[in-house]
Structure 1
């Protein structure tokens, strides 16, 4: 199994280096150019939109709740384990490439959410369903491709991501709190089953409270370490930039070299912020909003929060800890961040970190369930299918905590690469729809409309929109 996992990882790295990297950055730059850098021009407006996004759901899922579902998926083990893995293998320079992925990815995330809103369809429970499968099937009129994408997403989210996140929780709880994996599996079942069986509305209510609080607490803990070591900030930033373009590792105890930095920075950046991957728009589509662009702005800001703020804070804590932590016996991506936090704050921090990682990964698990149910709904809206994906998700959560997942961990990158490339092609082909929505939004704002309202017939769209929503 170890040899199989190694072989799969080699293939995944090749796909990332020769395919995903160029598609991600190329698409992000293309969409940034087409929108005149919407992620920069409207950054301040994004914050105002987020602050006012809890209202106006009209009995459905609010814009803020949809944002929190996607934030729950983004701010998870990718911020804790992903950053640690990127640093151990790619060195400090990997963080620079994570920033690049995030900055151009903000434009990608904007288009994902706008298209998800444009092509969403009403569901029987008063909410909406949408995402890449819907804009591929309806917008591109490529139903077979949309069905394939849906099935890949269902398996990836309901089986692979849920089990990987669960496995990460079990590993952390065992290393930091000496908790038996069976106990962790029981806890995960007790917490996740009621939420998942309650459906998407239940997840929205939980993540609306849990995701922002957990993100703030985690950032608060690392902020204390940053303040205590503020004098190290210039050195850390210098290491990040110099290592990003170096052919050799520059910092003892960590990996490095430009190739390792690029591969691991972009791969872990994608795993963390999900921009372009095609998962977050499944949550964005569930929101009840007055205009698709408002949700696009909110989701774009989510990428900034995830990578530029949370991942950078994690990287700083690890880099400040120094070689005595990086090279300690038994150090690995699952425990490096915790060891770095303990080094900065003291041994008392190990238990809060274990709880924090448990909650962060748990929030990602229930968000992954949402993505799987939304995509299964595209294939079949039957209640049997809905309940089947809920049961499978719960089963994967429990099994992931108690079995070895080396092969599954390695498979995640390939599954995400397939989803990402397919989604990015769709974004490029349908970019004229997103641009039309953006022009309509900015035209209304310029006319003095405080909260633009989207009406398809008045938006000068490139085609007819027959989804029964707008």
Structure 2
């Protein structure tokens, strides 16, 4: 058995080396660059517009936060964002940032920003395609995601029907497998370890309590998950950001040195950790890109499965929520985490070397402890609890959608029950290999998804141009709302009815 597991580990390491290696990271960023160019730098050229129509309109536009009727199966735009952020804002925003700095130096943060800048348009494109190709299932729920735009979008092109269908199945399989590891056991294990370390809570007790809480939410379906995450996500993000900002403000005098260290490390103006300059830059680039992608998941095709359930009609509107999702996750949460670490004296800002002997979440906890004392570790343990548990809720929906595509809506409850049971397993087992495998499956989701996004990049460009002409330039052109003629007609009638 040990020999078999060793063989599995070797094979997985080889596959993982490609999936999360430099070629794949270049492909992920390249896709973002392509979509940025095709949409004429939408994230910059229409910055005020997408801010106003996303977070800026939460308290002003009733359509953004409007809850649908109880018997309806769709969710509001804000709920879809919170559910997606629940899955993306996780341990990667704490442990991932610390790992990037430890391995790539402060310069890794610059490359994390670069990935996020272009990742905004990758996420935008996924959401646009998700809304445009989504369908209703037998329970009248919206179903969208990479599997649908691969099957109906790529598969709709001459000679690509079979290719699109195969890639859709592969994406769904990888999604389901990843949901049990990176979206469940890995997150729960992080919670259990931190709760035991900070509060001496036995892992089994943590697992049983979280299994009960998750079961009450997950088995209730998307509507219940969305209802919980729209309250949990803003709360956890605001509390964590406030705590991190306090650390930064206490060390406000270091801001100039932090920026200098980030840019010097990013471009090799000095060696990272005292090593060779060229090697330091390579590590900064690779770790910054890797942790950036891992944190915001742009290009993996995950969050689009929740965004597609929104009550929005305009694909570009939900695309703009995708831009904000990446912006909030990386540009705000990850950046503040990085600044709290770099301002706390735990990293030599001249050489980029980590002075502390702590790693991962412990490094962030130590940074908080420089200001909050012993409460710092407790604060991070609680933050990990909220962040990781919300990730479990979000990923349960991703896995459900992948499972539904493969086996049908009626069997989803079976998946949900198994998913909840695995929470206890995650809390009580050593999951090193399981985590590595799920990390690989998570990355493998990106391959079929990116093929779909790049193949349908022209469609994204046309839909975006159509929206800009109608909404921003005031031209009288027919809207592009859905690839399905019946859904297109229904949406057009609804728009006319609302206008009158």
CA contact (8 A) 2:151 2:168 kept: yes
Which of 242, 247, 254 in structure 2 is aligned with 1:225?
A: 247
For residues 38-437 of structure 1, the aligned pairs below 5 Å read 38-50=42-54, 51=58, 52=61, 53-55=64-66, 57=68, 59=72, 60-141=74-155, 142-246=164-268, 249-251=271-273, 257-323=280-346, 326-329=354-357, 331-383=358-410, 385-437=411-463
CA contact (8 A) 1:278 1:423 kept: yes
Distance 1:248 1:176, change over 3 A: farther
Give deviations 1:111-165, integer Å, cap 9, x for gaps. Answer: 0001000111113444311100010011111212211211111111134421111
Structure 2's unaligned 5+ residue stretches are 156-163, 349-353, 492-500
Deviation at 1:169, TM superposition (A): 1.1
SS in 2 for 1:276: coil
Distance 1:227 1:328, change over 3 A: closer
Which of 8, 12, 26 in structure 2 is aligned with 1:22?
A: 26
Larger radius of gyration: 2
Which of 453, 474, 484 in structure 2 is aligned with 1:465?
A: 484
SS in 2 for 1:335: helix
Partners of 1:43 and 1:56 in 2: CA distance = 27
Distance 1:307 1:239, change over 3 A: same
Give deviations 1:336-375, integer Å, cap 9, x for gaps. Answer: 2122111222222332322221011100011000001112
Partners of 2:346 and 2:245 in 1: CA distance = 21
Deviation at 1:465, TM superposition (A): 3.0
Distance 1:221 1:464, change over 3 A: closer
Aligned residues: 460
SS in 2 for 1:275: coil
Partners of 1:270 and 1:37 in 2: CA distance = 20
TM-score scaled by structure 1?
Answer: 0.91
Partners of 2:67 and 2:224 in 1: CA distance = 18
CA contact (8 A) 1:24 1:276 kept: yes
Distance 1:168 1:396, change over 3 A: same
Deviation at 1:289, TM superposition (A): 0.5
The aligned counterpart of 2:159 is: none
SS in 1 for 2:187: helix
Distance 1:200 1:91, change over 3 A: same
For residues 429-448 of structure 1, the aligned pairs below 5 Å read 429-446=455-472, 448=474
SS in 1 for 2:453: helix
TM-score scaled by structure 2?
Answer: 0.86
SS in 2 for 1:323: coil
Partners of 2:269 and 2:430 in 1: CA distance = 35
Partners of 2:14 and 2:257 in 1: CA distance = 33
CA contact (8 A) 1:273 1:306 kept: yes
Partners of 1:211 and 1:15 in 2: CA distance = 29
SS in 1 for 2:253: helix
Partners of 1:7 and 1:335 in 2: CA distance = 30
CA contact (8 A) 2:272 2:281 kept: no
**CA RMSD in angstroms, aligned pairs only:** 2.6
- More deviation, 10-19/200-209: 10-19
Give deviations 1:402-459, integer Å, cap 9, x for gaps. Answer: 111111222244223321122111101111222222122112213559xx9xx9xx33
Distance 1:140 1:217, change over 3 A: same
CA contact (8 A) 1:61 1:287 kept: yes
Structure 1's unaligned 5+ residue stretches are none
